[in-house]
Amino acid sequence: MAVDLHIHSTASDGTQTPEEIVREARRIGLAGIAIADHDELGGSAEAALHAERIGLRLIPAVEISTDYEDVEVHILGYWIDPQDVRLGERLRTIREGRLQRAQQILDRLAELGVTNVGIDDVLREAGGGSVGRPHVAAALVRAGVTGHRQEAFKRYLGKTAPAYVPRVRPTTLEAIDIVREAGGCPVVAHPGLVPRRPRLIEQMADYGVEGVEVYHPKHSPRQIALLLERVQAAGLLVTGGSDSHGPGGTEPVSIGAGSAPEACLEGLDQWRRQHPR
Ligand code: AMP
Ligand code: FE
Ligand code: FE
Ligand code: ZN
């Protein structure tokens, strides 16, 4: 059986609710899942209730965007304690930064002549969760400024587009520390999407990362084979997931994509047994 240890819900920029994700995971026969929303624990916590009801394995998780040298690296935190007060506070601070940045993007858009989208429209798209560029894109589509979300990224929000504003992010080391202090297992997300850094895996291991997301739909079979070799040689855990943001988003990817084997879940279970709280 397969697992999917990297799914986004409506608590961040995914389009499926935690309950829908749990139901879909059961329908396609996954052995276990993790909802790893951007800087937000609410989706994972809610899914835990639904997963328990139907007997689906679920590992609590979060995904934190970080600055590593001059590139962006995402850190996944598995087994974090969702009740950890300090973790909750640190993630809230990061989410406040997201909100300020959304306002800055709107300011840029206004300079570009787009004045019919306000922060309330963006917040409505986010539905109370972690605010990201996909929500600004959805607000632009709803206001008729662009035809679809992909166009919104292309014309305004993408990294090289005129309304792009980077987020203030913690450093990779800080995020690893945040995960550790909450009793979690830090894992580097989709290293294949990080602009080429030849010793990335080894440097992350030096930073104290405990695993690497090897299985991911955007990793080629060749990348996966090479990563498996390096990750196992470094004595790190192998994890994987679809990074699904649900249907109807900018880049639809199904839950279960990436075909991470059940051994990924077993590896995290073993880590948990070796690191009791
Ligand atoms: P943020 O964390 O607010 O910077 O938003 C990042 C999210 O925006 C990613 O997780 C994707 O869901 C989405 N995204 C980023 N770049 C693009 C793009 N060029 N086209 C479509 N979606 C994108
Ligand atoms: Fe996202
Ligand atoms: Fe990511
Ligand atoms: Zn993700």
pLDDT in tens, 112-169: 999 999 999 999 999 888 899 999 999 999 999 999 999 999 999 999 999 999 988 9
Report the CATH number of the 2-84+185-274 domain: 3.20.20.140
How is residue 191 annotated by DSSP?
Answer: G
Query: Does ligand 1 come within 6 angstroms of the Cβ of 101?
Result: no
Ligand 1 center to 66 CA (angstroms): 14
13 lines ligand 1 (CB under 6 A): yes
Q: Kindly list the domain boundaries of the chain, sorted by start residue.
A: 2-84+185-274
Per DSSP, the three-state class of 193 is helix
155 alpha carbon to ligand 1 midpoint, in Å?
13
Q: pTM of the prediction?
A: 0.91
Q: Which atom of ligand 1 is nearest to the CA of 135?
A: 3
Question: For residue 129, what pLDDT is reported?
Answer: 82
Distance CA 191, CA 53 (A): 34
Taking CA atoms only, the protein residue closest to ligand 1 atom 14 is 134
**Torsion sign across C-alpha atoms 61, 63, 66, 70:** positive
Task: Report residue 128 as tokens.
Answer: 């109370």
Mean pLDDT on 27-31: 97
pLDDT digits (tens, 9 = 90+) for 66-81: 999 989 999 999 999 9
Which residue's CA lies nearest to atom 1 of ligand 1? 132
How would you class 261 by CB atoms within 10 Å of its CB: exposed for 0-12, middle for 13-18, buried for 19 or more? Answer: middle
Does 246 contact ligand 1 (Cβ within 6 A)? no
Q: What pLDDT band is residue 248 in, cutting at 50, 70 and 90?
A: confident
pLDDT > 90: percent of the chain? 91
Quick check: 222 pLDDT over 90? yes
Question: Which tens digit of pLDDT belongs to each residue from 259-272?
Answer: 999 999 999 999 99
Q: State residue 13's pLDDT score.
A: 93
- Average pLDDT, rounded, for the chain: 95
| Residue 82, pLDDT score | 86
For helices 221-233 and 200-207, give the axis angle rounded to 10 degrees: 40
Mean pLDDT over residues 38-48, rounded?
A: 96
113: left (phi over 0), alpha (psi -120 to 50) or beta: left
